[in-house]
Structure 1
């Protein structure tokens, strides 16, 4: 042991001595100058890269500098560089935080001086104590702050085409470890820097392969060629930054794991979009549940970083005019939601390592040109910029160093604020209502009640339970987040700028779970038990036999249970009750299921696995009151030019255990679709009918997306020999034949508009929406055909989640195709005419009786809709017969981001009853 300590001491002394004798790497510095296109883009504080005798800089390691023209590294190469830093420097520690869907590791890299790294567990424990004021008094917190260091988490590579930050962070790491500059030394000594080198390595590798395969060396940036690989993650594309409420993807789980292990004081996420460097504060409105301290920190830190960039003589840095600060579901908002500080940058990027002349003359943010001089942009860029990969590296790195420097200079303030925000949240729980949220375990879908409790747990919110309820008390450090998730939002109608994303996220409504907000504690606190691990609803089986009844209430797990029964017992018979029936003393609602020819053990397993209650009986129900369930062969269509929502649909089906087949344009062109599938789902896609038919322009083809030795990350999760083109008119006609021959075509959101435009659902027409503005909100809908199988398990009025989707309608004589409408009032052309009719003899009028008009509930449950009168009465769901089949058109997305689980059974109903639609 003594020998080991002696050798370690020698190594540290050697490292310190070598640091003192470092010389600049003039070759590296000259290359920075060479690849930077303008002196004003060349910050002086980056021109001090040292030539360390034992720690390799990127030039020595890779043979070229970071930001070199045409050079980008795959995830394994990047991780190997950090491993080399950790091997050669006692200031670097590397830690794995999980594994991606495709098996790639998530890493974080921790950097600080040797003394700090040796006490890392101590500092992590200190921030954990500051995170919970119930464990730490204000007096204790003052002492802890003086013996703590802010943990600053910096992440890059969430969005694969934003290719600067994963490269830049390698150079930053080397600089933090080796630079003798006083600013860097101060950061090393006073801050624990946690780097997430590539937040999404699956997408990163696909995009690196895409760059080398297709876009490297292209002459013009804006030439129409797709700059992105078709897929990033296995399921989720750009929405991997919209998973902070669901926590469904491995990338999000890794971010949450790092937060709750380190409790970082600040989290900074590096993105690319707007010119030249945007430093987040947002235009507002800010989320009501973010502590005012955090909102003020956004301003101070944002302006500090802009000033630091300006101090280097670099133009184009700005704050305020991009993004709002409302929606809590971004990945980095794990910080803002938990009393920390979440920020982001947007640097201008070229989706690769080439240099392009970029035109920003017409770009506008918050109404102002990107080239205009404003209070928030003191030094704008010129209308055109000759922009290189190295320019991007320079801007982002200067900003991050400035931000780390701010943390080093204001360490105690940031840590004190971190504690005070948790204290404020706790105090609100003590002094303000509600005092608790109670979730009854007896719900129409008890499995979703358990799911809600588990989602709160995943957010770090404390949950208790007794025999009948899950209970979340608000007197806890994350009280603000709890109240935010469980109560309706009210986005200001007079907000000057449109919201950046959805504006409503009330989980009880999205999950279809009844929750009560309690303004006082009227239950026994001592009887509560803390929930330490995920809970599960274990379905019950009442009685024994070989026939069981499943009372249907639109539970999310019924359809996968039916598929499981069929796969495990081919002799089992499944029947649905299309009308309400009284059996064995129970009233069974329409949609209830009879499961025949299974034994009690099989019933118990189904009940347990899927959280469903089964009851033996139903043998006396007349066969005339039953219809056999034919579970469908389902296909989900992949458009290739836009896979975002197709990925969410695949993820939802797989999580639910619903089998499906992925198909693309080649399958549509091949035809004979009805011989292979009973249901085809067209998830939401961007664009219009032209995009759907023709896809990626054929002039760029052939464009294979296949796995090769040279491009090993391609060909997953789907492959094609040519991405270009679409199904064409042949494929469109085959899709029509599929429906005419008895298939069910389900369209979601924008694909409903596309199919209407293409004439497959010719009864549907677009409606001029005038001044309607409908960002993602939870709103009320009304069933117009309550006996439709699509509505089994739903009441006459219910809420659903809708964004700015299409507004469609039929002619009045086809209104029976409208299954569900938005709001409660009829359309104007459906209001009966009560005036005189020319040409008809006057009818004797009965004496008028004053009728009291019933006041309908508000249309908006959570969120905001401007000019809602434009949509009320219009169709939310249409069922249109086409030949022997049907088109079921949703004008919203019931499978939105694995979030609106209350809406999803509308799709499951369609699958269960695909051959029984009228």
Structure 2
């Protein structure tokens, strides 16, 4: 059945006449996933009840459904987080803290995990995508819960919808949502709503990701209420925010508002089950309709890729950052996108790319999703977005991808990539003899990873203090010199990370100006009030093999910071979350409070005594208000709006922290509400990056002229130490890989002996 389902999804292997004949044996694969958000537990209960009922039923209607569909049901997409929440609930269920949630659930990012569908930085989302692509369901449902003033949301959501989602999908949302609403109203279940809140623009959600794969992607949102037990509400006026009360009034989106009353976990389960059973029945009755629609959407995309531009994207193999190219190819393939390798050079409008370069054709089943990931987004200006408005993968990763509007690319000989490898040869280069000294350039995204590995060995690492022409290659200021290594280990490291080490001679090294590199002692701070951004930052550090300590409020207030750490990282979080935290009595005792004025004083002392403080995004309010560091935020007007867009920054590659950008002195930063640009009030401050003129690259923004030309990343001296302040988050959702070298090298540059 699974093999047949795959064939039914690809017109290239099943021509239309064979498709019609195969429908007699086909079943519709329907995917239901629950509880990706651990504080939304009803979905897991719904899943288990449905599985039991379907496995034991003798009801003729249910048996007919099982004859027509194959149900794939995942009780919890985030099982670790579900366990965290369950343990927390049972710990506090008989106390006044029953309505609290764990500060973090799951290993890293809590509620932000469903933004990771296309990036798949989280292991559970990588496993999720792999399984989904092995199944290729025709309909996909993502069951959520909400605190918004409605009891059950069904598709469609609000505008905009990303244009690469098929009109057939959009029409199916309306058909399915309307049917569910009507059936639930007929069953005396009011409060079902649609056409509100959630747009279908960002591809990181379960419904948009599936819809961009020609599956009818759906989100259900069931009102959570209070998990602790029944709650009595006279109506939404006792609960909802004033601006949300419009959802409690009768209109075309909510023909029958929920009138108030008791709302229990049992109600949540019943609403979710009813919606799903209506969907199962529709899928059974209209099985052929949905199967034919998927085939039609896929066929349309393939034909479109053969007949209109763009015909594809080329990813050149000769880029200086070989790791970034590999990462881009890997991300595309993890999303089910076919990548090919060309075996002859090809001239684009911009340049000639060599044989061995990578090709992503639009004439493939998921060519529309490839386009959505590779193109620059242009968000409709008149609609405020639910999440970010841009995510262009090559720009975020830092790899070049060239749009091809020339149909002759279809005739270039290419073969499909089945194993992901680095595009350029790696290893040890230069002299044939083992000189005992190697040069490692800073051009690769994997250089910090290599330095972390080498720092755990007896290898000696030096840093070039100035550019130098070696016989093997030209080195830039900031490149690394490696001595005292085991040759076989370095060859293996080069192969694993796609790095090129160059053998240099001792007489050359004697003429070069070098400094000893020492790995700094690193601390990563986290507040208990909001750990999502800390989680993404922590994941980026761990994945790149940094050794660090986590520093909570208590540790920051009690430890001897100066003798323990060289650098403290303050991730993007609101100042009050760090300084004040949870109010006593509102949360369990270990999690209340913040660092307070004493903590700020200790941070000032740490920096003044020679430490490095790295501040990111909103936490820079501490620098503005509590450090006399010569920095202030750029004052913006009410016309300044950047809801999550890609901005170009120019990089000055003269510093240790910026040498990665010597070959390409610019980067692309994600800018979101709460981020800032800096007014530099002290000439001693080093400006590492500035926002470019016409800096908006992708998404939507208003008032960008107010920050253009202003500092984006700075180093501000403070006593014997310094503050490295980022106006944006260089670790954003572990998607903004092209700005990670700025962050990693700011960490590595904290060694006090240099």
| TM-score after normalising by structure 1 | 0.76
Of 577, 584, 600, which aligns to 1:691?
A: 577
Aligned positions of 1:398-477 closer than 5 A: 398-465=274-341, 466=343, 468-477=356-365
Which deviates more, 476-485 or 350-359? 350-359
Aligned positions of 1:635-646 closer than 5 A: 635-646=523-534
Alpha carbons 1:363, 1:370 under 8 Å: kept: no
Aligned to 2:658: 791
Alpha carbons 1:809, 1:874 under 8 Å: kept: yes
Q: Return the offset for 1:585.
A: 7.0
Aligned to 1:254: 127
1:206 equivalent to 2:84? Answer yes
| Whole-Å separation in 2 of the counterparts to 1:573 and 1:648 | 31
| Whole-Å separation in 2 of the counterparts to 1:796 and 1:815 | 22
Which deviates more, 172-181 or 135-144? 172-181
Aligned to 2:722: 886
Q: Return the offset for 1:447.
A: 1.4
| Per-residue CA distance 1:873-900 (angstroms, 9 max, x = gap) | 3331121111111111111111111211
Structure-2 change in CA distance of 1:803 and 1:204 (3 Å): same
Helix, strand or coil for the counterpart of 1:792? helix
Structure-2 change in CA distance of 1:387 and 1:523 (3 Å): closer
Q: Return the offset for 1:617.
A: 1.2
Alpha carbons 1:801, 1:903 under 8 Å: kept: no
| Whole-Å separation in 1 of the counterparts to 2:586 and 2:79 | 27
Aligned to 1:871: 707
1:172 equivalent to 2:45? Answer no
Q: Return the offset for 1:808.
A: 4.4
| Whole-Å separation in 1 of the counterparts to 2:472 and 2:136 | 56
Aligned to 1:716: none
| Whole-Å separation in 1 of the counterparts to 2:121 and 2:28 | 29
Alpha carbons 2:462, 2:515 under 8 Å: kept: yes
Aligned to 1:764: 632
Q: Return the offset for 1:406.
A: 1.4
Structure-2 change in CA distance of 1:756 and 1:215 (3 Å): farther
Q: Return the offset for 1:811.
A: 5.1
Alpha carbons 1:753, 1:806 under 8 Å: kept: no
Aligned positions of 1:700-849 closer than 5 A: 700=586, 702-703=588-589, 722-759=590-627, 761=629, 763-765=631-633, 767-783=635-651, 785-794=652-661, 795-810=664-679, 812-814=681-683, 816-824=685-693
Q: Return the offset for 1:521.
A: 6.0
Structure-2 change in CA distance of 1:315 and 1:898 (3 Å): same
1:307 equivalent to 2:182? Answer yes
Aligned positions of 1:209-358 closer than 5 A: 209-216=87-94, 218=96, 227-273=100-146, 274=148, 275-350=150-225, 352-358=227-233
Of 543, 547, 569, which aligns to 2:437?
A: 547
| Per-residue CA distance 1:701-752 (angstroms, 9 max, x = gap) | 654xxxxxxxxxxxxxxxxxx1222223222222221111111111111222
Helix, strand or coil for the counterpart of 1:859? strand
| Whole-Å separation in 2 of the counterparts to 1:153 and 1:411 | 14
Q: Return the offset for 1:202.
A: 0.6
Which deviates more, 318-327 or 275-284? 275-284
Of 642, 645, 652, which aligns to 2:540?
A: 652
Aligned to 1:558: 447
Of 701, 708, 731, which aligns to 1:895?
A: 731
Q: Return the offset for 1:253.
A: 2.7
Alpha carbons 2:671, 2:728 under 8 Å: kept: yes
Structure-2 change in CA distance of 1:355 and 1:260 (3 Å): same
| Whole-Å separation in 2 of the counterparts to 1:344 and 1:439 | 34
Aligned positions of 1:471-510 closer than 5 A: 471-495=359-383, 498-510=384-396
| Per-residue CA distance 1:552-589 (angstroms, 9 max, x = gap) | 22x22112211222222x2x322222333233274322
| Per-residue CA distance 1:114-152 (angstroms, 9 max, x = gap) | xxxxxxxx2x22221111110111122222233322111
Aligned to 2:350: none
Aligned positions of 1:135-146 closer than 5 A: 135-146=13-24
Q: Return the offset for 1:344.
A: 0.7
Alpha carbons 2:311, 2:410 under 8 Å: kept: no
| Per-residue CA distance 1:460-517 (angstroms, 9 max, x = gap) | 111122452122222211111111111111111122xx21112212111111111222
1:598 equivalent to 2:465? Answer no
Helix, strand or coil for the counterpart of 2:310? coil
Structure-2 change in CA distance of 1:462 and 1:679 (3 Å): same
Of 31, 38, 42, which aligns to 1:160?
A: 38
Q: Return the offset for 1:912.
A: 2.6
Alpha carbons 1:267, 1:335 under 8 Å: kept: yes
Aligned to 2:247: 370
Helix, strand or coil for the counterpart of 1:287? coil
Of 259, 270, 273, which aligns to 1:397?
A: 273
Helix, strand or coil for the counterpart of 2:631? coil
Alpha carbons 2:633, 2:679 under 8 Å: kept: yes
Alpha carbons 1:640, 1:695 under 8 Å: kept: yes
Alpha carbons 1:227, 1:351 under 8 Å: kept: no
Helix, strand or coil for the counterpart of 1:198? coil
Q: Return the offset for 1:325.
A: 0.4
| Per-residue CA distance 1:613-640 (angstroms, 9 max, x = gap) | 1111164245672222121111111212
| Whole-Å separation in 2 of the counterparts to 1:634 and 1:909 | 12
Structure-2 change in CA distance of 1:298 and 1:489 (3 Å): same
Helix, strand or coil for the counterpart of 1:903? helix
| Whole-Å separation in 1 of the counterparts to 2:560 and 2:420 | 45
| Per-residue CA distance 1:249-283 (angstroms, 9 max, x = gap) | 23213322332222111111110113211112121
| Whole-Å separation in 1 of the counterparts to 2:537 and 2:505 | 35
| Whole-Å separation in 2 of the counterparts to 1:797 and 1:474 | 29
Q: Return the offset for 1:366.
A: 9.0
Helix, strand or coil for the counterpart of 2:36? coil
Which deviates more, 888-897 or 355-364? 355-364
| TM-score after normalising by structure 2 | 0.92
**Gaps (5+ residues) in structure 2?**
344-354
Q: Which is higher, the Rg of structure 1 or of structure 2?
A: 1
| Whole-Å separation in 1 of the counterparts to 2:137 and 2:453 | 44
Aligned to 1:905: 741
Aligned to 1:634: 522
| Whole-Å separation in 1 of the counterparts to 2:718 and 2:653 | 21
Structure-2 change in CA distance of 1:623 and 1:741 (3 Å): farther
| Whole-Å separation in 2 of the counterparts to 1:365 and 1:312 | 30
Q: Return the offset for 1:187.
A: 2.2
Q: Return the offset for 1:191.
A: 2.2
Cα RMSD between the aligned structures? Answer: 2.5
Q: Return the offset for 1:669.
A: 0.9
Structure-2 change in CA distance of 1:389 and 1:758 (3 Å): farther
| Whole-Å separation in 2 of the counterparts to 1:425 and 1:235 | 37
Structure-2 change in CA distance of 1:797 and 1:171 (3 Å): closer
Aligned positions of 1:663-678 closer than 5 A: 663-678=551-566
Structure-2 change in CA distance of 1:235 and 1:863 (3 Å): same
Structure-2 change in CA distance of 1:901 and 1:479 (3 Å): same
Structure-2 change in CA distance of 1:189 and 1:610 (3 Å): closer
Structure-2 change in CA distance of 1:757 and 1:360 (3 Å): farther
